[in-house]
Structure 1
Amino acid sequence: MMLRSLLLTASAALAVGACDERTSGDSAALETASATSPAYSADAATPVRPETRKFRDWLAVCDNGNACSAFGPAASSGGWIRVTLDAGPAARPQVHAGLVDRAAGPEGLTLSVDGQRFALTMESDSVGRIQDPTPGLIDALAKGRRLSLGDDVALSPSGAAAALLWIDERQGRLGTAGALVRRGATPASSVPAAPALPRVVSALAVAQTNLPSRTLPAAFEARADVKQCRADTAYSPTFQSNVTVDRLAADQELWGVPCFSGAYNFGLRYFVTEPNGANPQPVRFPTSREPADEVVNGEYDPTSRTLTAFNKGRGVGDCGIASVWAWTGRDFALVSESEMRECWGVPADLWPSTWRSR
C-alpha cells in the first residue's frame, strides 16, 4: 500500500498546505529553506541530496549522509525485510526482518533464501536482526528466488538485486571488496567517506512564565491564511480552540493555529510573533522535499527547543513521515527526518532516514 496521506488527505499534506493563502505583508525572513537545502545553523556543510527509488517490489532510500536502506515486502502480507548500509569504507550492512500483527514463536525468526536458513537475533517479539551478515547472505538475497520469514511468510525477491546495486552505485562501492552486490578486487578503503552532516545548534531554553491567553489576537484573525484555517475547521469549535503558544525568547513567541483534523492526523500552522501575539510571521519548515507550511501531529517542547511531527500514512502508523526541527534562535532547522512510503508494517524506529544532522 503506497503512502497516501499526502494525496488523499489534502489538508494533512506536508508538501501542500491546506491554508496556503498569504497576506501581501508577510515577511519572507522565516522561510528558512529551499526544497533541496534545509536550513541549519553553524557548519556550512553541503550534504548530498536524499533520494528514494522503487525497484519492482523493493524500496530503496539514501539520506543526506548517504546512509541507505532497502526494503522488501511480503509477497502478500504479514512481513518485511530491510537491508541497511551506512556510507564510508568501514561500514558493514545490517539485516532486519519482521512479522506484521503477530509475534514470532518461542524459536524466534529464521530467514530462508532458496533453502538456506539464517537465524535472526530477536530485538522484539516480532522483529529480528542479523548484525553483520556474511557476503553469502547478501548474495543470496540478491540472487534468491524464494525468500521467506519463518515457515509461512513469503517475501518478494523482485527488485532486491537492483535495489542493492543502486546502493552500491550511490555510495561508490561498485567493484570494491565492500560492495553489497557487485564486488571486485579494489580495496574497500577506496570507498568514499561519508559526507559531512549539517550541524544544528538549538537555542538555550527560556522560561515559559506569564504566557498570554491562547485566544488568537486580532492580528491573527485578520490574516487570509488564518481565515482559511478557521473556515476549514468551523465544524469543530472545540478543535479550533486548541491554539498553542510558547515563548521562544523574551520578545518572541511561537503560536500554533489549528488548520485541519482528520481520522488520525491534525495540522497546525505556526507563527513567530512579538509579545502577546503581535505581528505574526508564518514559519515554513524545511524538509528534504518542499518546505512545509503546516505541521502534522506537531508538538513543541520548550525544554529541548524541538518541534516534532508525525504525518501518518494510515492509522496504525506504519508509514508516513516523522520529522524533528530545532529552534536555533533564528529559525527552525531540520534535525532529522524519516519517511516510509510503503505501508508494510515496518515500525517507525526502523523507517529509512531521509535527513540527519549532528
Structure 2
Amino acid sequence: MMLRVITFSVLLLAALQVAADPLQQDYSDWTVSCDNLNRCQARNINDHNGLVLLISREAGPQGRAEVRLDNQQSEVFPDSDTRPIAPRLLLDGKVLRLNPREWQIADRLTLADNPLVVADFIARIREGSALTLSGEEKIKLRQVVSLKGFKAALLAMDAQQGRVESVTAWTKPGSQPAESVPPAPQAPEAPVFALPQPLTETEIAALTQFAATNIDANDCTLEPSERDIRLTPLSADRALILVNCDMGAYNLFSLAYLANRHAPFKAEELALNAPFKLNGTQTLEPEMINADMDEAKGELTLYAKGRGIGDCGESSRWIYDGKQFVLAEYRSEPHCDGVSQHGWPLLWTTRG
C-alpha cells in the first residue's frame, strides 16, 4: 500500500510540473545557465585562456551529469599549449590524477559522464582554488580554471533542480532520498502555424507603398534606398512588415510591424513577450536584430551577436499562432571570452 501511495505522489508531482523560469547568473569566476526544463550547466569564465571546465546536469532524481575539461585553442588564444590535458592537470599545484578507465581522454578534451565519477571529481576539486596545467610555469599565457565561485555555482544548480539537502546534492547534501528531487518540468507545446495564402502582387504593391509612406523611419541611419521592405503573410488578414533600419559591423537592426493585408491598412509595432522572467525578475525584450522570417513555418528568428566572431550574444525563435508570435526557443551567452559550446546556452525550449 505504501508503494502505491509513493508512486501516486510521484506521478502527481510530475503532472503538476510546469516549465520553470530559466536562470543565467554569474558567481565570481563561474556562470550558470539553466533552461525551463531545469537542465543546468556551469562553466568557468574570466582569464581562463581557453581552458574550460563545463559541468552539466539534467533535472530529476536520476538526472544525467557530465563533466568536460576542454582546451579550446583558437585564434582568440593563439599561444595556448596544445599538449594533452589529462596528464598535466594540477589542482593547486599538485597532480590531479584521472583514471583512464573512467574518463574519455583525448588531446584537447577530457570527459566523464558516469554519475559516480562526476560526483567524485566535483568532491575532489570543490574546496580548491584553481586547476592549472604543468609545463606552463615559464609560459606568458598560462591556462587556468579558477575555482572561485565554483561552490556557489554548484549550489545554484542544486537549488534550481530541488536537490539541496538530498543525497543527490553536489553541495549541502542531506538525508532526503533521491526520490524527493522533483522530476523535470514539462516543456510547453510549440504553437501551430496555419499556412495562409501567399500575398498577391496587388497586396505586395499596396503594403509596400503603405510601409514606405506610413512607417516612421526618421530615426534610422540607413539611407532610404537601403531600407529594404520585407513582407510575410501570417494569416488570411494579417502580414508582417520588416524594414531595414540600422546596420552595424555584424548586426542589422529592423523595424517590425503587424499590418492588415487589405485596406483600410493599419499597422502596429510588433511586441514580443517572453513567457518567463529571467532569474525571476528580468523581463525579456529582444530587439529586431538580424531578423529572418520563414514564411512556410511562420517562424521569426532573431540573432544578435555580441561581437564579430559570434562567441556571445542571444538568439530566439518565435512562431505565429494566429494571433501573436509565441516564443519557441531562446539562447543566451553573455560572456565574450572565445568559448565555443556548439551553440549558446539554451534557456527556453518547446516540444512539438
Normalising by structure 1, we get a TM-score of: 0.75
Q: Give the aligned partner of residue 36 of structure 1.
A: none
**Structure 1 residues not aligned, in runs of 5+:** 1-42
Q: 1:232 to 1:193 in 2, by over 3 A?
A: same
Asked which structure has the greater CA Rg, the reply is: 2
Q: Is contact 1:79–1:344 with CA below 8 Å preserved after alignment?
A: no
Corresponding residue to 1:83 among 24, 32, 55: 55
**Equivalent residues in 2 for 1:1-358 (5 A)?**
46-73=18-45, 75-98=47-70, 99-101=72-74, 109-110=85-86, 112=89, 114=91, 115-118=95-98, 121=104, 129-132=111-114, 134=117, 135-148=119-132, 153-208=143-198, 210=200, 212-213=204-205, 216-218=208-210, 221-222=213-214, 226-227=215-216, 229-234=217-222, 236-240=223-227, 242-275=228-261, 278-287=265-274, 288=276, 289-290=282-283, 292=285, 294-347=287-340, 349-358=342-351
1:337 is displaced (CA, Å) by: 0.7
Distance in 2 between residues matched to 1:154 and 1:67, nearest whole Å:
26
**Identity value in percent:** 26
Q: 1:280 to 1:190 in 2, by over 3 A?
A: same
Q: 1:293 to 1:144 in 2, by over 3 A?
A: closer
Q: Is contact 1:260–1:267 with CA below 8 Å preserved after alignment?
A: yes
Cα deviation, 1:120-146, whole Å, max 9, x if unaligned, reads: 6589x9666433351111223422323
Structure with larger RCO (C-alpha < 8 A, sep 6+): 1
Q: 1:213 to 1:317 in 2, by over 3 A?
A: farther
Give the number of aligned pairs: 309
Q: 1:320 to 1:127 in 2, by over 3 A?
A: farther
Normalising by structure 2, we get a TM-score of: 0.76
Distance in 2 between residues matched to 1:72 and 1:50, nearest whole Å:
19
Q: 1:132 to 1:95 in 2, by over 3 A?
A: same
Q: Give the aligned partner of residue 33 of structure 1.
A: none
Give SS of 2:296's match.
coil
Larger deviation: 304-313 or 67-76?
67-76
Superposition RMSD on alpha carbons, in Å? 3.2
Give SS of 2:132's match.
strand
Q: Is contact 2:50–2:339 with CA below 8 Å preserved after alignment?
A: no
Q: Is contact 1:95–1:130 with CA below 8 Å preserved after alignment?
A: yes
Q: 1:334 to 1:93 in 2, by over 3 A?
A: same
